[in-house]
Amino acid sequence: MQSNNYLKEIETTKTKITIYNSWYYHDYVDDLEVLANILDKGILCKKELGIKNNTTDSYNRLHYVSITKCSSSKNSIFQLINSRPLIIINSQVKAIKTPPLNQSSPITSYLVNTPLPFRQSPYNDEWQVYKKIPPKYFIGIYLDFQKYI
């Protein structure tokens, strides 16, 4: 199979990279078909994927894509996802810092139940991107290639 040969070639290529704290990360289902779709169309919110309700089966929401930054802080979403496959995203993407759940503000409380809700997060390192993250913002992929060889 040609794709397995390509993966073997990638595995033997060693590259030293610098990790920047300004980069964002998004985890995805560990499936090569899902990855191919993300690389082709970008990372899409649930509504853009055709999902009409706000299920809790992923960190993506109806109107927003959830992303995080490298963090070792307490209550960190990055600490939950850093062992999963990750898309590494350039810091130039337009992201909104998600306010913490315990921080109440009049503006946030007014926007929670609107057609385009502004969410709060239980994590202190979560950002959100409206609708889609186009592939032009992707820097790289963190993936354990051993399982595909």
pTM above 0.85, yes or no: no
Which of 55-59, 95-99, 105-109 has the weakest average pLDDT? 55-59
Residue-wise pLDDT for 13-27, tens only, equals 555 556 667 899 999
Q: What spatial distance separates the first Cα and last Cα of the chain, rounded to whole Å?
A: 10
Q: Rounded distance, CA 94 to CA 109, Å?
A: 23
Q: Is residue 87 within 8 Å of 34, Cβ to Cβ?
A: no
As a residue count, the chain comes to 149
Q: Which residues of 34-68 are buried (b: 16+ CB within 10 A; e: fewer)?
A: ebeebeeebbbbbbbeeeeeeeeeebbbbbbbbbb
Residue 22: HSE in the Cβ half-sphere, 13 Å Cα cutoff: 6
Structural domain spans, the chain? 2-148
Average of per-residue pLDDT across 33-53? 86
Of residues 39, 44, 6, the one with CA closest to residue 129: 44
Question: In this model, does residue 142 exceed pLDDT 70?
Answer: yes
What torsion do the CA atoms of 61, 65, 68, 73 make, to the nearest 10 degrees? -10
Average of per-residue pLDDT across 59-73? 82
For residue 86, the SS3 value is: strand
Q: If pLDDT is split at 50, 70 and 90, which confidence band does 1 have?
A: very low
In the block, tokens 């929670």 appear at 112
